[in-house]
Amino acid sequence: MGLRGLTAGKPAADYRRDRRRLVRQLRSRGVQDVALLDAFDRVPRHLFVSSVLRDRAYEDVPLPIGAGQTISSPTIHALSIEAAAVGPGRRVLEVGTGTGFQTALLATLGADIHSIERIASLHEAAGAALARFGVEARLMLGDGSLGWPEHAPFDAIIVGAAAARPPAALLEQLADGGRMIVPLGTRRQHLYRYTRRGDDVDRVKITRVRFVPLIVERRRGRGWPRP
């Protein structure tokens, strides 16, 4: 898997400089995965936001992407991907394709990507952008809270919206030893890492966050720990 066009040519010098500054910021904030830092240096975030926001693309802040949604700050993307232990050949489910920026980062890391987006306009725009850059990923328009059972189990699941509790359907699709990264909470949110150990899960709190809410389909299923 690769990013045709992202690595073949050099971007404008100012954006390149901004990306390198962002990588230094991410390193100073505790991101240690060298391959992940290299992915941030290679993927042009400014091409995954609207043209009016491109001058802010490498600020470490979330940015609006339309339809009431946002692209997460680079630090949150980095912490999520690092906590999920994404690497070559790892089967990853991304809940919330958004603009496709995180999808492109995962592709740079060599992951086998399955990404779900419930908003049609974002799904279509992300698909076009990723195709333009040669990103190999399975994309689906649908309810991410239900996961993608026919492609389970997943080594990592990264959820891009906040739920009141971890969706049971997603945890059921997590491979043994796999990790799910999910923001939980309503008014006060934290990012959590869930690691599956057979029929049990371990939970670790990562950091305070602020995400748009995840719309969760009600269904029967096994109960899992509340945050």
- The helix (run of H) or strand (run of E) holding residue 13 is helix 13-28
Give CA–CA dist 86/64, Å, rounded. 26
Q: What are the beta bridge partners of residue 201? A: 196
Spatial strand order of the sheet with 174-184 comes to 138-141, 112-117, 91-95, 154-159, 174-184, 189-197, 200-209
- The helix (run of H) or strand (run of E) holding residue 64 is strand 63-66
174 and 198 Cβ atoms separated by less than 8 Å: no
Tokens of 42: 């290679």
Q: What is the 3-state secondary structure (H, E, C) of 197-220?
A: ECCEEEEEEEEEECCCECCCCCCC
The active-site residue, picked from 28, 50, 72, 121, is 72
72 is catalytic: yes
Give CA–CA dist 4/89, Å, rounded. 18
Backbone angles phi, psi at 129, to 5 degrees: -65, -45
Give CA–CA dist 128/218, Å, rounded. 31
The residues assigned a catalytic role are: 72
